Amino acid sequence: MPYVLISTQIRMEVGPTMVGDEHSDLALMNYLGATKRNMLGNHFWEYYVNDAPRIVLDKLENYGYRVVSMTGVGQTLVWCLHKEDNNVPPGRDVNVDPVKLQPRSELPQ
């Protein structure tokens, strides 16, 4: 999936950060350390992390994503990120170790 939306409430700018929905790339959600939940009254599932948006943005940059836009919607901050298509099947990013799900640059040599 080349696009990712992340969001947080303005009053919660230190976390948690919403990082996906039930259709998100599982490898990416694992890499971010995301937890899947269903909030009472919602008819959908979402993935979240307890990290601040800045930490999530740093992790997504290491995974190959770049911020395309950012906006405020009511009391919510939303970032849209995009990853260039490099003809790699979803969940098989060449810059990420598939076993440990961390950027190869952070792996011991």
- Three-class SS string for the chain? CCEEEEEEEHHHCCCCEEEEECCCCHHHHHHHCCEEECCCCCCCCEEEECCCHHHHHHHHHHCCEEEEEEEEECCEEEEEEEECCCCCCCCCCCCEECCCCEEHHHCCC
Set out the domains of the chain in order of their start, with CATH numbers: 3-82 (3.30.1410.10)
Residue 29: its pLDDT value, please? 95
**How does pLDDT run across 5-25, given as a tens digit for each residue?**
889 988 767 779 999 999 999
Q: What is the pTM assigned to this prediction?
A: 0.72
pLDDT per residue as tens digits for the range 25-80? 999 999 999 999 988 888 889 999 999 999 999 999 999 999 999 999 899 999 99
